[in-house]
């Protein structure tokens, strides 16, 4: 592979390269990509002939996808050779000479991270709540478990829904005649103020009597795929089926033995709850400590002045995680915005603020790593892979290599090492929990 810097860079945060591969290099490397794609997609093929099988599945776009994948691999290698602090995914342009030309050529722009300095490299001081488990907390959680196991019976004294009643409701919501799954439920116990339903629905519940049915509509605003704000009408049918109350059992040794797995008496029940709370408290404490330390370090950076593409990239990463989580639950983004009581534009503004904080924390960790001369080895790389995909470390590494994303893996490993250094040296002041 031959490469060189080309043209005038638009800023100090960009480097542009022209790259060329010989016919033989392209043939050998593209074959590896074809085999990897076939294995990844579960496509059967005759030995050393994955291209025909893949073309049946991917069509004429196969050659372009392979060339783009190979270009990203080349840029990844350049980033490693030149020790470039790559910030975003590289932009590949002007690909030519594939699949049959005398040489494969392209140009690529690499966006760089600014090498910023912190105002101080002294250990951060953190004020965190004590994670000790109090007797009162144990008692409250024991009672909550008992409440969960209580039977629901008809509340004879409640005549209509209000802020104190447990309401058995069904809700049917449609948008343009299509079911909105996130706002559709059958025989669900709901209390006013739970926050699981948008206010446009919840405000209809007070005053309803068992058997009442309300039909109504409300409008939510969101942005379509063109970025234009649109209004969408939600058509709802809300049915208050009944009002119930809990019939809470008395906590005795006999009840614990029959109802609480792993406990044989009340004292054993108390011990189980205390141990569970202590484990959760430690996890919550470690998470709070990590976030507080990264935030405190980020405050030592001067104001960021980055091109907007950096914030867009960070926000896109956050949105990708949210979209994946929503897809698992079968919830559309518009429905999610409605549940949050915000418009798409308002939610994106929140994500812009969060993206800036993510950038600040990452760049602050980079600065700490440089100051402390931290370096990563294979053990650090493996730890990063284990964080990404526990149990599938080798497969994940191969996927990152084939997609030209090794620089992201190395960044993750180095920042994790910097974060560990930060936490190990942090000065902690514990405050007594209320």
Residue 124 lies in a domain: no
Q: What distances in angstroms separate CA 35 from CA 30, 45, 163, one per listed residue?
A: 9, 9, 61
* Domain containing residue 188: CATH number: 3.10.50.40
Contact 55, 79 (CB under 8 A): no
3-state secondary structure (DSSP) of residue 401: helix
Residue 127 lies in a domain: no
Residue 103 has pLDDT above 70, yes or no: yes
Residue 133 lies in a domain: no
Domain boundary (247, 282, 298) is at 247
Domain boundary (214, 247, 280) is at 247
pTM of this structure: 0.69
Same domain for 156 and 101: no
Structure confidence by residue, pLDDT tens digits, 110-149: 999 999 999 999 999 998 877 778 899 999 999 999 988 8
Same domain for 191 and 93: no
Q: What pLDDT does 259 receive?
A: 92
* Domain containing residue 346: CATH number: 1.10.3120.10
Distance between CA atoms of residues 337 and 318, nearest Å = 15
Q: What pLDDT does 434 receive?
A: 40
Same domain for 386 and 280: yes
Same domain for 281 and 393: yes
**The total number of structural domains that make up the chain:** 3
Residue 139 lies in a domain: no
Domain span including residue 289: 272-431
Same domain for 240 and 287: no
Domain boundary (63, 87, 111) is at 111
Distance between CA atoms of residues 246 and 244, nearest Å = 7
Q: What pLDDT does 54 receive?
A: 79
Distance between CA atoms of residues 389 and 406, nearest Å = 15
Tokens of residue 307, six digits:
């091109």
Residue 140 lies in a domain: no
Residue 245 has pLDDT above 60, yes or no: yes
Residue 141 lies in a domain: no
Crossing angle of helices 344-371 and 266-298, rounded to 10°? 80
Return the biggest CA–CA distance within the chain: 86
Same domain for 93 and 18: yes
The pLDDT mean for the chain works out to: 90
Q: What pLDDT does 214 receive?
A: 96
Of the listed ranges 223-227, 324-328, 402-406, the one predicted with least confidence: 223-227
Residue 50 has pLDDT above 90, yes or no: no
Residue 262 lies in a domain: no
Q: What pLDDT does 10 receive?
A: 65
Residue 319 lies in a domain: yes
* Domain containing residue 56: CATH number: 3.30.70.1050
Same domain for 283 and 379: yes
Predicted confidence band of residue 342 (pLDDT cuts 50, 70, 90): confident
Of the listed ranges 50-64, 139-153, 259-273, 312-326, the one predicted with least confidence: 50-64
Same domain for 416 and 309: yes
Same domain for 410 and 312: yes
Predicted confidence band of residue 60 (pLDDT cuts 50, 70, 90): confident
Same domain for 88 and 161: no
Structure confidence by residue, pLDDT tens digits, 284-313: 888 889 999 999 999 999 878 899 999 999
Distance between CA atoms of residues 234 and 218, nearest Å = 5
Same domain for 427 and 279: yes
Same domain for 226 and 367: no
């Amino acid at each position: 592979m031959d490469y060189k810097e080309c043209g005038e860079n638009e800023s100090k945060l960009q480097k542009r390269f022209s790259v060329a591969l010989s016919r033989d290099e392209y043939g050998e490397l593209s074959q590896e990509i074809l085999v990897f794609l076939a294995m990844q997609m579960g496509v059967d093929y005759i030995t050393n002939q994955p291209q025909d099988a893949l073309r049946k599945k991917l069509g004429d776009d196969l050659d372009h996808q392979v060339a783009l994948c190979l270009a990203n691999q080349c840029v990844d290698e350049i980033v490693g050779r030149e020790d470039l602090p790559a910030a975003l995914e590289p932009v590949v342009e002007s690909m030519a000479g594939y699949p049959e030309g005398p040489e494969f050529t392209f140009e690529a722009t690499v966006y760089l991270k600014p090498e910023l300095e912190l105002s101080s490299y002294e250990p951060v001081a953190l004020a965190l709540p004590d994670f000790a488990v109090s007797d009162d907390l144990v008692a409250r959680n024991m009672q909550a478990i008992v409440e969960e196991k209580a039977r629901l019976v008809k509340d004879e004294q409640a005549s209509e829904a209000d802020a104190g009643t447990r309401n058995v409701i069904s809700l049917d919501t449609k948008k343009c005649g299509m079911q909105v799954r996130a706002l559709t439920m059958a025989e669900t116990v709901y209390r006013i103020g739970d926050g699981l339903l948008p206010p446009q629905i919840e405000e209809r519940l007070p005053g309803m009597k068992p058997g009442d049915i309300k039909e109504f509509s409300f409008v939510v605003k969101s942005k379509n795929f063109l970025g234009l704000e649109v209004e969408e009408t939600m058509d709802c049918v809300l049915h208050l089926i009944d009002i119930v109350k809990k019939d809470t059992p008395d906590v005795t040794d006999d009840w614990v033995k029959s109802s609480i797995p792993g406990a044989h008496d009340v004292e054993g029940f108390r011990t189980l709850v205390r141990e569970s709370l202590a484990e959760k408290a430690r996890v919550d404490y470690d998470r709070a400590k990590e976030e507080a330390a990264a935030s405190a370090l980020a405050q030592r950076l001067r104001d960021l002045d980055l091109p907007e593409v950096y914030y867009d990239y960070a926000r896109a990463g956050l949105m990708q995680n949210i979209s994946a989580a929503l897809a698992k639950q079968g919830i559309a983004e518009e429905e999610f915005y409605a549940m949050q009581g915000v418009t798409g534009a308002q939610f994106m503004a929140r994500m812009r603020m969060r993206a800036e904080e993510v950038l600040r924390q990452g760049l602050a960790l980079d600065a700490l790593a440089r100051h402390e001369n931290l370096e990563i080895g294979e053990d650090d790389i493996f730890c990063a892979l284990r964080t990404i995909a526990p149990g599938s470390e080798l497969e994940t590494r191969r996927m990152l290599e084939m997609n030209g994303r090794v620089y992201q893996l190395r960044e993750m490993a180095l920042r994790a090492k910097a974060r560990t250094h930060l936490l190990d040296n942090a000065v902690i002041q514990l405050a007594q929990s209320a």
